[in-house]
Structure 1
Amino acid sequence: AHLAAGDPQCVPWKKNACCSARVSHELHRDKSSLYNFSWEHCGRMEPACKRHFIQNNCLYECSPNLGPWFQEVNQKWRKERFLNVPLCKEDCLDWWEDCRTSYTCKSSWHKGWNWSSGSNQCPTGTTCDTFESFFPTPAALCEGIWNHDYKFTNYSRGSGRCIQMWFDAAEGNPNEEVARFYALALSAGTMSLGTGPLLLSAALMLPLGLLD
């Protein structure tokens, strides 16, 4: 798929994406029609913070390199997810630093919201406070907010061992090498990724030619 150039946070996947331009556009809206999820459930979110959530959604919806962490799940609202994607240290630290002064009311965002209005609202009995109060460390944010979609790592960008939420596509996609490494390790049975049943065919979800 080819994405619209006007959607800056999804630009890294412009040349090789698993999402359409329409999806990319929706991911940049404050309340996307894809999820009806509002980042600003506790008032205005700082733009520097919001961009990390948009990048997170772009990675989730558009990246062709998350096959090794793909799982089938039996949940009412979804049938598949990613588990323990090893996130580069810098991506997690920057996410936490840019969001620590924004506000939320929950330390896990994947369920437990009040959806009576059609969009997520803070559940009864919760109060809004800073991200830092709900996520005291970068690892608490990156691992906890989406129920372990990500795993905090000490790997740095360029190591070939961690996924970047953002990169300069003109310099190539560093996540291709990372996906290749973990897919081969998984298919060789030398690595366990996360907990629960894994699709052993995860390597087959990589772009054609990636394992050549």
Structure 2
Amino acid sequence: MTPACKRHFIQDTCLYECSPNLGPWIQEVNQSWRKERILDVPLCKEDCQQWWEDCRTSYTCKSNWHQGWDWTSGYNRCPAGAACLPFHFYFPTPAALCSEIWTHSYQASNYSRGSGRCIQMWFDPAQGNPNEEVARFYAMAMSAGALSRGVEPLLLSLALMLQLGLLG
């Protein structure tokens, strides 16, 4: 993997592990290795495009990195018979990379950086965190939609907003 490609995976890990702004996309799951996951986080189109461009010349053997690896050696290896090919073979578009690599944890948004409608993987913390506005927007939109489905989703959304410090 080229250094330019690898930096996106490092940034992806930082976003996933450390961002307080992913609450609106947290879903409960019943998996042996986790109880929650993010689903369909809208990544800004420029971030997906750059990730794809920077990884085009790197190689992989699968499109879904969440599962299907051979762990018999103690670390992940390509499954038997999987062809190691350039990224663009498994991910023909930036949208395919963003949505498929982590089983729809992300989706490629049609919105641009700075729109307040997509999560930015990259930003200058000295300029503030643009993802706070995005999380607030989607949390409020999800709360409004919860009114038509009953009280439980509304309470869950409000609890997430409080946890994120988006209310008050």
Q: Same fold (TM over 0.5)?
A: yes
Q: State the partner residue of 2:140.
A: 184
Within 2, Cα distance between the matches of 1:51 and 1:84? 21
Change (3 A) 1:187 1:75: same
Q: Deviations for 1:63-84, whole angstroms, at most 9, x for unmatched residues?
A: 0000000011001121110000
Using structure 1 for the length normalisation, give the TM-score.
0.73
Distance 2:154 2:101 in 1: 24
Q: Which runs of 5+ in 2 are unaligned?
A: 148-152
The code of the aligned residue for 2:11 comes to: Q
AA at the equivalent of 2:156: S
Q: Deviations over 1:134-184 (max 9, x none)?
A: 101001100000000001111000100000011000000000000000000
4+ runs deviating over 6 angstroms: none
Rounded to whole Å, the distance in 1 between the matches of 2:78 and 2:154 is: 34
Q: Which residue of 2 aligns with 1:21?
A: none
Q: Is the 8 A contact 2:24 2:135 kept in 1?
A: yes
Name the SS of the counterpart of 1:182 in structure 2: helix
**In structure 2, what residue type is equivalent to 1:124?**
A
**Which amino acid counterpart does residue 92 of structure 1 have in structure 2?**
C
Distance 1:157 1:211 in 2: 24
Q: Which amino acid aligns with 2:117?
A: R
| CA distances 1:113-138 after superposition (whole Å, capped 9, x unpaired) | 00001110000111111001110100
CA shift digits 1:70-110 (9 cap, x unpaired) = 01100112111000000000000000000000000001100
Q: Where does residue 62 of structure 2 map in the other structure?
A: 106
Secondary structure in structure 2 of the residue aligned to 1:211: coil
Change (3 A) 1:119 1:189: same
**In 1, distance between residues paired with 2:146 and 2:154?**
15
Deviations 1:1-30 (A, max 9, x none): xxxxxxxxxxxxxxxxxxxxxxxxxxxxxx
* Structure 1 CA distance for aligned equivalents of residues 156 and 26 of structure 2: 10
Segments of 5+ residues of structure 1 without an aligned counterpart are 1-44, 192-197
* Distance in 1 of aligned mates of 2:120 and 2:133: 11
The 2-side partners of 1:76 and 1:209 are apart by 30
Task: Kindly state the Cα deviation for residue 199 of structure 1 after the two structures are TM-superposed.
Answer: 8.7
C-alpha RMSD of the superposition:
1.7
Contact persistence 1:68–1:203 (CA under 8 A) = no
Q: 1:152 aligns with which of 108, 116, 124?
A: 108
Aligned match of 2:10: 54
